[in-house]
Chain A
Amino acid sequence: MKFKILIVLLVIIFFIIVIAINPLSNTKKNNSYLRTSGITEIKGLNPFNPSFNDVYSASIQRNIWEPLYKYSPDFSENHEIKNSPDKRIIPWIAKEMPIYNEVDNKHEVIVKIRQDVYWWDKKKLTADDVVFSGNLMLNFGIPVNDRSSWQIIEGKYYVDKIEKIDNFTIKYTLNELVPIFQIGPLMSMIFPKHQWKPIVDKSIKKFNEHEETDINKRNLIANEIWSVDVGKDLKLNEIIGSGPFKPVNWKQGEYMRMDSNHDYWAKGRIIKIYGKEYEIGPYIDGILRMVYKSSDTINLVMKNGDIDITSIQPSDISYFQKNNNMEIKTCTRNSLFFIGFNLRKKPMSYLCFRQSVSYLYNKELLNDRVFHGRLSPIYSVVPYVNEYWHNPNLQTYGKGMNTIERQYKAFNILKECGFDWKTEPRFEIENEKPIKLISKGIDIIMPDGNSCPELKIFGSPASEVPDSAQANIMLQEWMNDIGIPAKFIPIDFGTATDFIYPSDLSEPNFDINTVVGWSLGPDPMYLKDLWHSSHRPEMISGGLNAEGYINFEYDKLSEQSIREMDPKKRRKIVFKLQEIISKEIPIFPTTTVTNIQVYRKDRFEDWFSMPTYGIGGAENQYSYMILKPKQ
């Protein structure tokens, strides 16, 4: 019997040793693939599908299909460019900047494209491809995720038609010339006509005989096109792109491998980044992206050296600083976190109340003590990292004041505008400065004589974003200290959106919202979409002005801002819009994300950090095409 047990034990031990040693671990190829990771998987590769609006899917797609123009890698301005509403834009597939003409009350834009751009199947990229891609938007509204930048008025394109002048020249006829033309149609991806036309034709044929309205028919055709499973119906090795990396192996939810396109048309082209010249590659063998489902795991994998780049938490900085093979870089993202007030309800409708809460929210202290530098304070709805459009001369609501000073200020603002208390908060004053809160305020009464109701602060639960929940608890306490009855309500994102952004034209039902944050693009066109009075959810289903902000001066200016072609004049308007929001506080901008990235400098060189996007990652489209393996 004992002999039998011994044999079984020996077999088990042998089995464990074989598995643990894994004789195959050494068979991995010695290569220069850049190994990245993420918690979120790539949703899909079909560029027309609106569900694939995540940054990871978009980053893969942008490595396959490229636009006519791009933002410069360091967002530097080129002052030699004339007639451009944004001087940070550079030609990519286009040969030069567009030429604008006015003909018969219409605007014509001539775009010349390079003659040395090739698809992966060696065919030349021509004006036919550009016209075909643009017409997909005009005829079927795809790619859906690009549609907003093709429209100024909901449902109406400002581009009238797109025509081929010759094989390498395209003419856009516009009903209206608007600055977002450059970041919309001219930055949309170009698709190979010879690959997608048969798919489009098949979809048209399928629905042409249907007895449907034209709009329904168009939507059905669009639906059919974006339902093509790229990776299965259109196999990975059949995809035709023009970009620097080709997807070759993909197990959804696990990994994706992209190989470098060694015949990349832009290879050898010189680009300037922060004054230094770089030659475009790609030089690495490719990119391998693995999905790990928790940030703790990704952290360990990075520490183990199994991946080459990741984002880390502030608490991990000291560990990685000790590793000579790794380098840390921080990057402030162009994002907007805020306190949103429901202006339809009292006391949020009182400006002095909103000012008072703005003073109470000590974002500098929170960034230092709670967020540990992860969320930098901002004072404008165009964060400072977007230098081109940011207005630096706005009120900072208590910057440099300590918590007691802020509470004293908030109390005085409320008192001056008619708020009253059954028992006022009492402060100890020394040399005319508050140094201590002696007793809390009790039962605040609003200027209309009614008691202030208990205010619900919607915020992310501690289980999801612990430091944000901590910040909301602190805000609740700061408000309670001066007698404002506030309560932090942890709420999951899905439930919160139903209250804050109802889709059934009902009024949003919240008091104070801190759940939502925006990831912003380089152009401030969102200033109109977020606070224009016509964008209130009760006015239009899906409207994003949840606060219910109504200011006709703001409406007018925001409409001007998306039409003004002169960058100087546009900047002035955008500055004014920021000033209005800062003064009227429908939302109080609080923080933007600071992303801390760590990367392997022993394996690769020429990493560079793109402002607001960081090193590599999903949005920096240049990084991996200039990255070089270290010899």
Chain B
Amino acid sequence: MIHVGFTKYITRRILEGIISLFVVITIIFFLFRVMPGDPVSMILDPKMTPEMKEMIRNSYGLNEPIFVQYGIYLKNIITLNMGNSFHYSKPVFEIIMEKLPNTLLLFTSASILASVLGIFLGRIIAWKRNSNTEYILSVVGLFFYNMPLFWLGLILIYIFSFSLGLFPIGGMIDYQLWSFNPSIIEKILDILHHLFLPLITLTVSSFCGMMFLMRTSMVETLKEDYVIAAKARGLPDKVIRNKYAARNAELPVITALILGISGSIGGGVLTETVFSWPGIGYELFRSTMERDYPLAQGCFFMLSLITIVSVIVIDVVYSYLDPRISYD
């Protein structure tokens, strides 16, 4: 049964989310307009006459007064139309829907894998504090955590793709295979083959954060009365660790996991560049640099939307994971 307080709380959070989203998209719009250079002034070509530039500026709607542009922008956002990308001359929504799944596939699987590994190892090192296991895992984790992501990616590509020839050097698909209509199984296996190295790179470089978060959280939990009581009751170590301490300690890790997935949209530029992964992070970077306003705004809107939705989801998940949390 859904609690009335809970429904009220969620409604309030959704309303707050909508207001936040409105503020964010407004700031994004005006930030882009105060950036130096517009998409047309960046086209430097002796063949491009001033008249042609004017025509393009008109077709992009850049000659409209700024508040008219803002009005069109808001209308586009509400209708999820988002306008056409200057770069591709294609609907922004279409481009985002083409690239976002690729990013989510890579980063969601990497975040989940890193969290599972982080929770598992964090639990062990919190339980075995000051042991060799803790030292070794901490050193290994920090080593990869501090290693620049693109460098780690390049090293892995050099070893496993270039020297050993086990994995592809880049991309998400084998274009030779895909351009000749492969079967679904062939497509899936091919994507997995391409996914492996970027996935490992992201997992290896990020599990450490989760591991330490889990350790810190669990160390705190181990001091709780109910854990001490469980020990006093003579319950086996495994049960105390896994059922009593770890489950409660996982809450901050789950928050980090969900926020990490939403943050990956903007933060994946380097990984996507090194592995030539056709995702939204690279698109966000490129569109910002090229002043492709509609696409950049669309990407930021999507990023904000996913982050705000994630925060609301975290709130909901919390109540299920920790029955002590009340929405009254």
Contacts and interface: CB of A to CB of B under 8 A. Distances in A.
Interface stretch (A14-22, A107-115, A431-439): A14-22
Given A20-B166, A300-B158, A494-B290, A541 B49 contact: no
Contact of A301 (B42, B56, B170): B170
Given A503-B41, A542-B54, A35 B59 contact: no
A105 interface: no
Interface stretch (B178-186, B210-218, B244-252): B178-186
A253 interface: yes
A294 B274 contact: yes
Given A19-B189, A19-B196, A542 B49 contact: yes
Contacts of B282: 293
A208 B326 CA distance: 64
A303 B278 CA distance: 22
Contacts of B55: 50, 141, 144, 219, 222
A212 interface: no
Interface in A529-585: 529-530, 540-544
Interface string A4-30: 000000000000101111111101110
A480 B277 CA distance: 45
B46 interface: yes
Given A22-B193, A50-B56, A154-B49, A28 B177 contact: yes
B48 A530 contact: no
B273 A294 contact: yes
Contact of B58 (A154, A219, A499): A219
Interface residues of B, number: 70
Contact of B171 (A29, A51, A290): A290
B167 A499 contact: no
Most chain B beta-carbon neighbours within 10 Å: one of A53, A496, A497: A497
A96 interface: no
B88 A148 contact: no
Given A297-B169, A493-B42, A23 B189 contact: yes
B90 A229 contact: yes
B178 A24 contact: no
Contact of B175 (A148, A254, A304, A498): A254
A227 B170 CA distance: 32
Given A28-B174, A292-B170, A540 B89 contact: no
A535 B276 CA distance: 41
Given A19-B196, A304-B169, A148 B44 contact: no
B53 A27 contact: no
Most chain A beta-carbon neighbours within 10 Å: one of B46, B52, B90, B277: B46
Interface in A293-307: 293-294, 296-297, 300-301, 303-304, 306
Nearest to A1: B238
Interface residues of A, number: 82
Contacts of A541: 50, 53-54
Contact of B176 (A33, A141, A495): A33
Most chain A beta-carbon neighbours within 10 Å: one of B50, B173, B182: B50
B3 to A, nearest CB: 39
Nearest to B164: A20
Contacts of A229: 89-90
Interface in A239-276: 248-249, 251-255, 257
Nearest to B292: A51
Contacts, number: 201
Contacts of B277: 293
Contacts of A188: none
B154 interface: yes
Contacts of A470: none
Interface string B49-89: 11111111111000000000000000000000000101111
B148 interface: no
Contacts of A50: 52, 55-56
A249 B87 contact: no
A494 B37 contact: yes
A227 B89 contact: yes
A257 B49 contact: no
Contacts of B51: 147, 154-155
Nearest to A50: B56
A18 B179 CA distance: 23
Contacts of A147: 49, 51-52
A22 B190 contact: yes
B46 A53 contact: no
B326 to A, nearest CB: 38
Nearest to B38: A503
A495 B169 contact: no
A501 B45 contact: no
A494 B186 contact: no
B31 interface: no
Q: Which 10 A-B pairs have the closest CB atoms?
A: A542-B50, A255-B175, A494-B37, A498-B36, A526-B46, A257-B179, A542-B53, A498-B37, A20-B166, A249-B179
Given A50-B55, A255-B175, A291-B276, 19 more contacts: A44-B88, A44-B89, A44-B90, A144-B55, A144-B56, A155-B51, A227-B89, A252-B88, A252-B98, A254-B278, A257-B179, A293-B274, A293-B277, A293-B282, A300-B162, A492-B289, A494-B290, A541-B53, A542-B50
20 contacts: A20-B166, A20-B193, A51-B89, A144-B55, A147-B51, A148-B52, A222-B55, A223-B59, A229-B90, A257-B179, A288-B176, A288-B179, A293-B272, A296-B154, A300-B169, A304-B162, A304-B165, A494-B35, A494-B42, A544-B44
